[in-house]
A and B are shown apart, each in its own frame.
Chain A
């Protein structure tokens, strides 16, 4: 292990452990107004009129007419309104905000607002959707020849459900408008995304917008785009309040029901097989985007680029569409489209292997990509693909072969056991040319006269430990004790735009920029004076330029790799299963802090296991999300956590700091198919949807009994 991998006490540990860390809800509210949002009760309707009740002094309303700039939230496209104007597009679409000093009074007054609607036809089920927000096609090889020559053709549809990020701290922001300048602070992943959105909605120049991240109680993607929307709404209220700050803190129900989630998916796959090998794959990937585009374009891109998984398939045809429905807009969640397609392709490979009477793992290994292989988009796997070694590690840890053989025999009694394994990658950093063409990250190091060094960057520590790891990198290059290097929560008045805290990019991309900045500072170091150095992103030379219009080139410079085995025991009377063991090997390059990286791997893996099973969330026929509390959206507790053994396999990446590459999202991405493969063995039947419930297990048990 490299010395930098040695764990340290996290920079933000003590403040958080003793309850002193200031989250946005912790600021004194005596001088603040509160805001409550009125939301649409209909999935699709025209707003005919609104009648506001007489308001006591100190209370006022905010709606689209109050937006001083453009009534659009800048995300990728700008179709999300700050406040609905002509129509409402989903249950929960924000119409207006009521602002005043007392929350209970606000609730009372909000209930008296009358809105007349003309109901419009609503599309709730994605299969009824007729509007594709985004529609992509790409492929390679000769599909026609593959179909013509195939011995067998397999076709199957895979479905995945919603997943709620369920960060423990709900969304919340405070906005303050003073002397022509708007300041928004609170819980967020991407201060400069919020900054850009505010400038547009308020019609202000960038220097009149200030965004500060407060200590953030988890994000997992849920605080990537959503804070831009809420920020515009709160900022317009503060603009109208003229000098008094306005605060909006969501309750859990509001947060769960109306903020972005993982896209539900339907993936229809067709595979041609010749001589025991998959020669062609046709993947039709449908994501339910919800009512506005938000991040669906980029989520879908990552999803379809991973459509063929870790397999080298000569001919490939991929179609992806993000379909509009009149439901809550879906957005970023750790894995960003890839958990959906990895579930599909991993289960497909299992099912083909089963049909060919071959052990799935052996079948998968025969198809695996290796260094130099062509990617789905005609790029290259430039670096060694460590999957075979990682598979061996997981096999050993889990005693895979032995268990797999034993459980394959006819099982009797009320407990049925199974073990399964999955393989996956996660493309490290932004998809395609985003880093080079859109983000153009800038970082600075500021050295004080006394020799202390401050990092100036816009990364948010949302629990992943970036405050600590970035400081470790800089301290290491400058030979300084860790306490001489600091990194405060980003404030756009003070820090350059080093890009958002997303896509497993912060440590790999911004960490490397800071490492280079530190080397430069070291070479220019002068005792006793203040110094600043700046570093700009430059794409590594080896990258094959990516063109999004053709889906051609290196979608990612490198990849993080995952292998996971899950073992289950199912009670055939109740259908309830218990995970009796989980073993995983992850390659995220050099860990910059062993404890921190292992913590990311374990936490992500458990979110992936929850995604596959207990985390059930659905919209009813009217488009209303039914599971909007921790009482009916169940996430794993300490009682649900299995025996979990995680180890790291280090394949150092030359363009990441000390060999580090993307880490945060990886562990979630491929956990579900390992779990479902184990359940398939236990239940002796095929699984093609998640979340997979106890009721689903009972159905499968009944089916296999009949068969």
Chain B
């Protein structure tokens, strides 16, 4: 963790806590999270915004952190898997993903979990089409998506009222 200094760095909220990044403003948020804050649950799969492995939530909105410059997120709230895993919603998603064996190699999973959170926040009772759309920014090469889609549907049912 960097030294806190009120005069320097880019201030933002990381998993509920105020932090400052001492990286150059043009640094990818992905690199800030992994290298500066050692939050390695956010994965790097392409650095081009295509694969979704680096997905995080900024003010509740799903983004690929490889395409976000840290200088552009001053004062905003970033939620990574490390913060999200402490929530009740994560517990519901985790159980649904586990029951459907929706995790294979696991590299897309943290991003997929956050994509599911964004999806259920917008559509607490998503249709099949809404689920497919909600996950379509996140590539998974292992599952063929069937188990993931089923896991989201299951989580939506079990988590009634949470989203």
A contact residues vs B (CB 8 Å cutoff): 7, 9-10, 12-23, 25-26, 28-29, 165-170, 215-220, 251-252, 462-465, 593, 595-596, 598-599, 602-607, 629-631, 635-639, 641, 644, 646
Contact = CB atoms under 8 A, between A and B. Distances in A.
A6 to B, nearest CB: 12
B147 A631 contact: no
A12 B101 CA distance: 11
Contacts of B93: 17
B141 interface: yes
A638 B46 contact: no
Contact of A17 (B105, B113, B133, B137): B113
Nearest to B99: A9
Interface in B104-139: 104-110, 113, 131-139
B47 A9 contact: no
15 contacts: A12-B103, A14-B98, A16-B103, A17-B93, A17-B103, A17-B110, A19-B81, A22-B40, A26-B34, A167-B107, A168-B140, A599-B102, A599-B146, A631-B50, A638-B136
Interface of B: 34-35, 38-48, 50-51, 53, 80-82, 85, 90, 93-94, 97-110, 113, 131-149
Contacts of B42: 19
A217 B109 CA distance: 10
Contacts of A646: 146
A464 to B, nearest CB: 7
A462 B48 contact: no
Nearest to A21: B106
A638 B148 contact: yes
B101 A639 contact: no
Across the A-B interface, the 8 shortest Cβ-Cβ residue pairs: A19-B41, A16-B106, A463-B105, A217-B107, A602-B144, A463-B104, A630-B50, A595-B101
A306 B147 CA distance: 31
Given A168-B51, A218-B105, A629-B46, A641 B132 contact: yes
Given A17-B94, A220-B141, A252-B45, A629 B105 contact: no
B102 to A, nearest CB: 8
Contacts of A602: 143-147
A638 B145 contact: yes
A252 B47 contact: yes
Given A18-B85, A602-B144, A169 B51 contact: no
Given A603-B104, A646-B146, 5 more contacts: A17-B93, A168-B51, A252-B51, A630-B50, A641-B149
> Which of B38, B39, B41 has most A Cβ within 10 Å?
B41
Contacts of A596: 101
A19 B39 CA distance: 9
B89 to A, nearest CB: 13
A184 B93 CA distance: 35
Contact of B147 (A22, A217, A595, A635): A595
Contact of A599 (B47, B51, B99, B104): B104
Most chain A CB within 10 A, of B131, B144, B146, is at B144
A666 B16 CA distance: 46
Contacts of A606: 144-145
A216 B144 CA distance: 18
A220, A463, A465: residue with the most chain B Cβ atoms closer than 10 Å: A463
A265 to B, nearest CB: 22
A636 B142 CA distance: 11
B94 A168 contact: no
A606 B140 CA distance: 11
A20 B144 contact: no
A220 B105 CA distance: 11
Contact of B146 (A10, A29, A252, A641): A641
A638 B131 contact: yes
Contacts of B109: 16-17, 19
Given A18-B41, A19-B81, A595 B100 contact: yes
B33 to A, nearest CB: 11
Nearest to A607: B141
B150 to A, nearest CB: 10
B4 to A, nearest CB: 20
B108 A168 contact: yes
Contacts of A216: 105
B130 to A, nearest CB: 11
Nearest to A12: B106
B47 A251 contact: yes
B147 A218 contact: no
Nearest to A604: B144
Contacts of B135: 637-638
Contacts of A28: 38
Given A10-B101, A169-B45, A630-B139, A603 B90 contact: no
Give the residue among A215, A596, A630 with the most B Cβ atoms within 10 A. A630
A600 to B, nearest CB: 8
A169 B145 contact: no
B145 A641 contact: yes
A603 B46 contact: no
Nearest to B44: A25
B42 to A, nearest CB: 7
A630 B141 contact: no
B141 A218 contact: yes
Nearest to A166: B141
A635 B144 CA distance: 11
B149 A10 contact: no
B51 A630 contact: yes
Contacts of B142: 218, 463, 599, 603
A637 B45 CA distance: 15
B48 A18 contact: no
Nearest to B114: A19
Nearest to B86: A18
Contacts of A637: 135-137, 139, 145
B163 to A, nearest CB: 18
A661 to B, nearest CB: 20
Nearest to A22: B40
Given A168-B53, A252-B46, A599 B139 contact: no
A13 B85 CA distance: 13
A166 B141 CA distance: 7
Contacts of B47: 251-252
Given A167-B105, A168-B105, A595-B100, A23 B43 contact: yes
Contacts of A462: 105
A629 B50 contact: yes
A593 B40 CA distance: 30
A631 B139 CA distance: 12
Nearest to B94: A17
Given A629-B46, A630-B48, A644-B146, A19 B104 contact: no
A18 B90 contact: yes
A386 B105 CA distance: 31
Nearest to A582: B144
A584 B142 CA distance: 18
A14 B58 CA distance: 24
Contact of A639 (B103, B113, B132, B147): B132
A169 B46 contact: no
A18 B104 contact: no
A13 B144 contact: no
A26 B53 contact: no
Interface centre among B53, B104, B109 (most CB of A within 10 A): B104
A448 B90 CA distance: 35
A168 B46 CA distance: 8
B98 A10 contact: yes
A607 B104 CA distance: 15
A168 B103 contact: no
